[in-house]
Amino acid sequence: MILLSLLLASCARDNIVPVDNLPADSTITQIELENYINKTHIALLNRKPTQAELNQSLQQLDVDRYNRSIRDTYVLGIQDLDRSKWAIWQFLSDRILDGIDTTQVRESADIFQYRVDNSGTQNEKDYWQWLLDRTNNNLVALEGWYNQDSTYNSLVGWMVRMPIYDEINMGTENFVVSIYQHFYHRYPTDHELTQASKMVDRQWGLLYGVNGNSKADFLNIFLNQGEFQQGLIINAFESYLNRIPSTIESDKHHHHLNNGWDYLKLQRYLLTSSEFINE
């Protein structure tokens, strides 16, 4: 994500081109096209393209540099790679889990399994099994993400239930505040903090008109609010266009997400926009 931000910043221009349309007198030079390919690979794969990938991408996009449907097919081809799905997980980890990678998660699962198998008491075994289950559920969600069986919301929901998220955000209130900051881009209100904390502490609470009494209940309620989608849109604009969306843009994409779009479609829309090309 840092590499992407640096590259985008180095290519920034004074005037933002509207997302949907290139100016009538616009030209896309060879250097700009190569730069676009570099940026899309970094955004989608967390690395620059190989020379072979660069040549293949140039050949694909050179059919018509101004045709957005060609760019859409190009980006979709990269999105279909497992590396691209891993990169989305890793970018999330960079934001909320201090950048741990999937190898570390699998190593943690192995350690927890060893502790379960070698526990001296039932209480000790139950504790390690609890940590193992949370870690394995994240890995299951990740595999589902690779296989297109898990949604982005599910991926987020299991990532914030990993033991390391509790270590980073120790205590019930810190956990709730961090969830709101990461995904709603704001602090919770007093009411939200009180009711969400009750749920996380296994007491009955009422949030957005829905009752719950567990961390799972809280996250299910939280992730299914429109404000979560608004936060997702903000994150995508900040990641790929280095700015926050306007109210009109936010409302437009929120409507799309409520009518068939998913995170990958939103990502593809931004990465095929003229604004991303001209950054």
Domain count, the chain: 3
Retrieve residue 279's tokens: 């950054």
Percent of the chain with pLDDT over 70: 91
Residue 30 backbone phi and psi in degrees, to 5: -60, -40
Give the pLDDT band (50/70/90) at residue 12.
Answer: very low
Answer yes or no: is 30 within a domain.
Answer: yes
Same domain, 78 and 116: no
- Structural contact between residues 262 and 152, judged by C-beta atoms closer than 8 angstroms: yes
- Structural contact between residues 215 and 172, judged by C-beta atoms closer than 8 angstroms: no
Which of 50, 82, 114 is the last residue before a domain boundary?
82
Answer yes or no: is 154 within a domain.
Answer: no
Indicate if the pLDDT at residue 23 is higher than 60: no
- Structural contact between residues 115 and 128, judged by C-beta atoms closer than 8 angstroms: yes
Same domain, 179 and 121: no
More confident residue, 16 or 126: 126
- Structural contact between residues 157 and 92, judged by C-beta atoms closer than 8 angstroms: no
106 CB neighbour count, 10 Å cutoff: 14
Same domain, 61 and 124: no
Residues 204-229 have a mean pLDDT of 95
Residues 150-163 have a mean pLDDT of 89
Same domain, 77 and 104: no
200 burial level (CB within 10 Å; 0-12, 13-18, 19+)? buried
Same domain, 14 and 76: yes
Query: Which pLDDT value is given to residue 146?
Result: 87
Indicate if the pLDDT at residue 22 is higher than 80: no
* Mean pLDDT computed over every residue of the chain: 89
Residues 121-143 have a mean pLDDT of 90
Query: Which pLDDT value is given to residue 18?
Result: 47
Give the pLDDT band (50/70/90) at residue 120.
Answer: confident
Q: What is the DSSP letter of 212?
A: E
DSSP string, 147-197: TT-S-HHHHHHHHTTSHHHHHHT-SHHHHHHHHHHHHTSSPPPHHHHHHHH
Same domain, 76 and 106: no
Distance (Å, whole) CA 29 – CA 65:
9
- 3-state class percentages of the chain: helix first, strand second, coil last, to nearest 5: 70, 0, 30
Answer yes or no: is 182 within a domain.
Answer: yes
Answer yes or no: is 87 within a domain.
Answer: no
What are the tens digits of pLDDT across the range 179-209?
Answer: 999 999 999 999 999 999 999 999 999 999 9
Give the pLDDT band (50/70/90) at residue 17.
Answer: very low
Answer yes or no: is 262 within a domain.
Answer: no
What are the tens digits of pLDDT across the range 246-267?
Answer: 999 999 999 999 999 999 999 9
Distance (Å, whole) CA 256 – CA 159:
25
Query: Which pLDDT value is given to residue 139?
Result: 87
> What is the rounded end-to-end Cα distance, in angstroms, of the chain?
16
- Structural contact between residues 208 and 247, judged by C-beta atoms closer than 8 angstroms: no
Indicate if the pLDDT at residue 5 is higher than 90: no
Indicate if the pLDDT at residue 127 is higher than 90: yes
Query: Which pLDDT value is given to residue 26?
Result: 57
Say if pTM beats, i.e. exceeds, 0.85: no
Distance (Å, whole) CA 266 – CA 124:
45
CA geometry: angle 155, 221, 131, nearest 5 deg: 50
What are the tens digits of pLDDT across the range 67-87?
Answer: 999 999 999 999 999 999 999
Same domain, 10 and 75: yes
Answer yes or no: is 207 within a domain.
Answer: yes
Which structural domain range is residue 206 located in? 164-224
Same domain, 58 and 30: yes
Same domain, 134 and 171: no
Retrieve residue 154's tokens: 């599910």
Answer yes or no: is 27 within a domain.
Answer: yes
Answer yes or no: is 11 within a domain.
Answer: yes
